[in-house]
Amino acid sequence: MKNIKHVGRIKNTGAKVLVAFRTLPGESNMCLIVPTESLPDRYHDSIMELVETDFAQESFEFGEALFTKYFPDGRIMLAALQQDGRLVKSPTDNVVMTPTPTSQIPLSDLNTLIAEQKNCAIDDLCTFVKGAPKDEEKETVSAKSEPKTESVQPLQANTNSVLSDKDIAKNYRSQADAMYKEAARLRKEADDLDPPVKKSTSKAKLETSA
């Protein structure tokens, strides 16, 4: 039976979820999930189709795929989920990953295994996400998150925090940079195949003097 990454359920309720980000910068004990059972049908079908694609399965985090794909209404999936309040922050030990109907592993344990495979700390897993902040930026994010930890802990059983506009903006900038680089690469390939005609400088001078 084929394993499907990024799928799981809430430990206590059994509610099905997709894990957009297994850890968060400065909060490696927290993850960002999408409760699928409450999604409108058109959103549910689109996001479930996406998670089974090779692109999503090869992505380190499902959120990377969500940022590049669109819902039927034309909105980028990650941004739409954030705007509609459907990205939910949850403790990693409250989420059980279910890659197959007969296998399961707590997300907190999975994060430990992934960190061991990558020979890094669990806190550093967020740096492997495409477009993740650099070390100095990560330190700033972590520092800003520290005062927030005390207020989050009492709500560990069920937090409804969503990805902030600042986080979405950072992802937009990262995507824009990637698109710019891709456009530049395609332009170079096009010019290599069919070099643009350059107007002769000497000819231009002669035409001007005439």
pLDDT in tens, 143-196: 333 333 322 333 333 344 455 666 666 666 666 666 666 666 666 766 777 777
- Per 3-state DSSP, what percentage of the chain is helix, strand, and coil (rounded to 5)? 50, 15, 30
Q: How far is CA 104 from the centre of its chain?
A: 23
Pick left, alpha or beta for residue 119 (phi over 0 → left; psi -120 to 50 → alpha; otherwise beta): left
- Say whether pTM exceeds 0.85: no
For residue 93, the model assigns a pLDDT of 95
Task: For residues 24 and 90, give the distance between their C-alpha atoms in angstroms, rounded to a whole number.
Answer: 10
The residue ranges of every structural domain in the chain are 7-163
Q: Write down the pLDDT at residue 130.
A: 77
For residue 46, which of 72, 82, 27, 11 has the smallest C-alpha distance? 72
Rounded to an integer, what distance in angstroms lies between the CA atom of residue 111 and that of residue 90?
Answer: 14
End-to-end Cα spacing for the chain? 78
List pLDDT tens digits, range 109-156: 999 999 999 999 999 999 998 754 444 444 433 433 333 332 233 333
pLDDT tens digits, one per residue of 10-49: 999 999 999 999 999 999 999 999 999 999 998 999 999 9
CA 14 to each of CA 2, 10, 102, 122, 162: distance values in angstroms, whole numbers, following the listed order: 21, 5, 14, 25, 21
> In DSSP terms, which residues pair with 24 in a beta bridge?
27
Q: What is the pLDDT of residues 54-75, one digit of tens each?
A: 999 999 999 999 998 999 999 9
- Nearest to 5, CA basis, from 72, 60, 68, 45: 60
Distance CA 94, CA 159 (A): 11
Q: Which two tokens stand for residue 162?
A: 């969503």
